Amino acid sequence: MSTPDLNLLVTLDVLLAEGSVVRAAKRLRLSPSAMSRALARLRATTGDPLLVRAGRGLVPTPRALELRERVGQLVQDGKTVLRPAETLDLKHLVRTFTLRTGDGFVENFGPDLMVRVAKEAPGVRLRFVQKPDKDSAPLRDGTVDLETGVVVKTTGPEVRAQALFRDRFIGVVRKGHPLSRGKITPSRYAGGRHVYVSRHGLDKGPIDEALEPFGLQREIVTIVDGFSTALALARASDLIASVPERHTGNLRAGMHSFPLPVAMPEVTVSLLWHPRLDADPAHRWLRSCVRDVCGK
């Protein structure tokens, strides 16, 4: 079945309103012959004459009378859809946004973001969900509005990304831990007992590779799947946690943090979203809120 020409809806709407080929042609800036051809196409498409001659004028058929109100509403709805977005009224905006974030993001940036959102748009609700992987499918299928994380090769090529901040890994121990005093050398750091963070259950990573040129190897005594868990263990024991600095600011309160004694590259944490939401005024506003909060 062929797809109907939806432009004919506008033509039909004007013809039914004017009841005249000549007047309808003038209103749509067409020639009378072009309008007559359009009417012929409408008759063929609907299987009804629609407008029939009565004396010098045209009168609508019962089918045309049945369609008139529906066609007018469809045309109006189409104009509404294609009209540029109106100015966003944040005070009356009612909407729930889903944000998929890495471990520690909500604890560190969530409070300030919620205060900002509540002040500007009290009807907006934020729903935070954990980010167990790098799959872009939730952004693509619309189950997630925004995501934070490091752009990797598996990130969908169509996904939009904007840098939020640079981060680096640091060491963290409880107050009073031996590493809370004195200079941290590679050997002192590697000689402690470590909690390692890996969502996939790996037992070594870039930090271990950086220690290899020194002939050193960490003793990893436990593996967890999140930074908050690693910090909770380090807070209550002599374990050493290695976590991203900015991502875990609030989680490290009351603990001792120190720069890693080996060179590690910084990572860029970005804001990710699907391009279909680029021009959505409410989504653009939320993106600006996240950027401002993370940029402090």
Mean pLDDT on 255-283:
92
Share of the chain above pLDDT 90, in %: 54
- End-to-end CA distance of the chain, in Å? 57
Does pLDDT of 171 surpass 90?
yes
Shared domain check, 94 and 78: no
For residue 197, is it within any domain?
A: yes
**Do residues 187 and 160 lie in contact, with contact meaning Cβ atoms separated by under 8 Å?**
no
Distance CA 12, CA 8 (A): 6
pTM score, whole prediction: 0.68
Asked whether residue 119 falls in the same domain as residue 34, the answer is no
Q: Which domain covers residue 35, as residue numbers?
A: 7-82
CB atoms within 10 A of CB 59: 12
Provide the 10 A C-beta neighbour count for residue 15. Answer: 28
Q: Is residue 237 part of a domain?
A: yes
pLDDT of residue 154: 64
Q: Look up residue 39 and give its amino acid.
A: L
Do residue 138 and residue 281 come from a single domain?
yes
- Report the number of distinct structural domains present in the chain: 3
| CATH of residue 273 | 3.40.190.10
Q: How far apart are CA 135 and CA 145, in angstroms?
A: 14
The answer to whether residue 2 is domain-embedded is no
Least confident of 88-97, 136-145, 177-186, 236-245: 136-145
127 and 149 co-located in one domain:
yes
Let me know: does 114 contact 94? Beta carbons within 8 Å. Answer: no
Is the pLDDT at 209 greater than 90, yes or no? yes
Name the pairing type of β-strands 267-273 and 51-54.
Answer: unpaired
Q: Which residue has the higher pLDDT, 53 or 173?
A: 173
> What pLDDT does 140 receive?
83
